[in-house]
Amino acid sequence: MFDAPALTVDLDAYFRRIDYDGPREPTLATLRAITLKHPDAIPFENLDVLLGRGISIVPADIDAKLIGAGRGGYCYEQNGLLKRVLTALGFQVEGLMARVQWMQAEGAPARPRSHMVLGVSIDGETWLADSGFGGCVLTGPLRLFSGDVQDTPHGAFRIVDVEHGGVAERQVQANLSGKWAPLYQVAKGAWADIDYEQVNFYTYTHPSSHFTWSMTVGRSTPTARYALKNNRFTHRDVTGAVVEQRDLSAGELEAVLRDVIGLPVAPDWTPVLEKVVAWGTPA
């Protein structure tokens, strides 16, 4: 049962979690600082799905997990938390939905909208903020309705007009070694918090959701991006160039989750990590 979410959040606890001690005014500089620090401190991960626990997006549960327990989460948890933080700081924030296209084969059927992002209004302009997109997470906000190339601490992005089924959307693209790769298409129109409950349930239960049959983990530090797809570990620098890529044993996987990603690995994760290694790297 989904309870109506309170917009309150313990800002002091959140800022300790992300190691932020800067200004708390609702300015673009504050937004940039928070969206850089958040994905460094709070990794993207779907371990609870693979552990059979499901994902609660009730605010108190998100805060207990991501702030109190030192865990990470996926988009509804990450951006749900970020939305409440920004709102508490005085920002005007809307929840939006996007259609993921990242790493999708050319010509593949369109996916339903399943990714939560945020639209943050500052001085009459809408900025896209997203702390919940795995190994290619935004580490700085983007002007949602600008077609210019926009630099972030982890490379250049642009957002272009596209159409899907006669509906206008904005496609976010990342510059990967000189080639523009689509991440997702953002639909216009805000979603109420309660609207995410159904798609969240789909995401952690439906067999077509890759979160139910593969492990996805990511952390973006000020100098690097780290990603795990099952047992395939990839380390990129801030330009997107691959520094290291290799397949890990179960023991190595546990060490990377603990020492590189920063997750509090628990003993009951071991069977899941062994299963992940047996699955290998998805095609």
Mean pLDDT of 148-177: 92
Confidence label for 177 from pLDDT (cuts 50, 70 and 90): confident
Report the run of H or E that residue 41 belongs to, with start and end: helix 28-41
Confidence label for 157 from pLDDT (cuts 50, 70 and 90): very high
How far is the first Cα of the chain from the last one, in angstroms, to the nearest whole number?
A: 36
Q: Is residue 234 one of the residues assigned to a domain?
A: yes
Q: What is the pLDDT of residue 248?
A: 98
Q: Which residue has the higher pLDDT, 103 or 65?
A: 65
- 161 a catalytic residue: no
The CATH number linked to 90 is 3.30.2140.20
Catalytic residue, candidates 38, 48, 115, 136: 115
Percent of the chain with pLDDT strictly greater than 90: 85
Catalytic residue, candidates 48, 75, 136, 154: 75
Of the candidate ranges 43-57, 96-110, 132-146, 180-194, the one whose mean pLDDT is the lowest: 96-110
Q: Is residue 5 one of the residues assigned to a domain?
A: no
Contact 43, 218 (CB under 8 A): yes
Computed over every residue of the chain, the mean pLDDT equals: 94
In the chain, how many domains are there? 1
Grouping H, G, I as helix, E, B as strand and the rest as coil, residue 151 is strand
In sequence order, which ranges of 63-169 are alpha helices (DSSP H)?
A: 75-88
Query: Nearest 10 degrees: CA dihedral of 218, 84, 68, 134?
Result: -10
Whether the per-residue pLDDT at 172 is higher than 90: the answer is yes
DSSP codes, 50-67:
HTT------HHHHIIIII
- How far is 29 from 40, CA to CA, in rounded Å? 18
Spell out the residues 6+ positions from residue 103 whose beta carbon is closer than 8 angstroms to its own: none
Whether the per-residue pLDDT at 153 is higher than 50: the answer is yes
- How far is 20 from 207, CA to CA, in rounded Å? 38
Q: Which residue has the higher pLDDT, 2 or 266?
A: 266
Mean pLDDT of 4-14: 79
Whether the per-residue pLDDT at 5 is higher than 70: the answer is no
Q: Is residue 136 one of the residues assigned to a domain?
A: yes
Q: What is the pLDDT of residue 255?
A: 98
Spell out the residues 6+ positions from residue 272 whose beta carbon is closer than 8 angstroms to its own: 47, 50, 51, 215
- How far is 54 from 42, CA to CA, in rounded Å? 19
If you search the block for the tokens 């890529």, which residue do you land on? Answer: 245
Whether the per-residue pLDDT at 122 is higher than 90: the answer is yes
Percent of the chain with pLDDT strictly greater than 70: 96
User: What are the tens digits of pLDDT across the range 51-60?
Assistant: 999 999 999 9
Of the candidate ranges 34-43, 46-55, 162-171, the one whose mean pLDDT is the lowest: 162-171
- How far is 117 from 165, CA to CA, in rounded Å? 21
Confidence label for 1 from pLDDT (cuts 50, 70 and 90): very low
Mean pLDDT of 273-278: 97
- How far is 149 from 208, CA to CA, in rounded Å? 34
Q: Is residue 2 one of the residues assigned to a domain?
A: no
DSSP letter, residue 261: I
User: What are the tens digits of pLDDT across the range 82-110?
Assistant: 999 999 999 999 999 999 988 776 766 77
Mean pLDDT of 183-207: 95
Q: What is the pLDDT of residue 2?
A: 40
Host domain of residue 228: 11-279
User: What are the tens digits of pLDDT across the range 218-275?
Assistant: 999 999 999 999 999 999 999 888 999 999 999 999 999 999 999 999 999 999 999 9
Token reading at 273: 């990590």
Q: SS3 for 154-216, per residue?
A: CEEEEEEEEEECCEEEEEEEEEECCEEEEEEEEECCCECHHHHHHHHHHHHHCCCCHHHCCCE
Catalytic residue, candidates 40, 48, 63, 130: 130
Q: What is the pLDDT of residue 176?
A: 87
Q: Is residue 53 one of the residues assigned to a domain?
A: yes
- 19 a catalytic residue: no
Mean pLDDT of 162-185: 90
Whether the per-residue pLDDT at 3 is higher than 50: the answer is no
- 148 a catalytic residue: no
Q: What is the pLDDT of residue 70?
A: 98
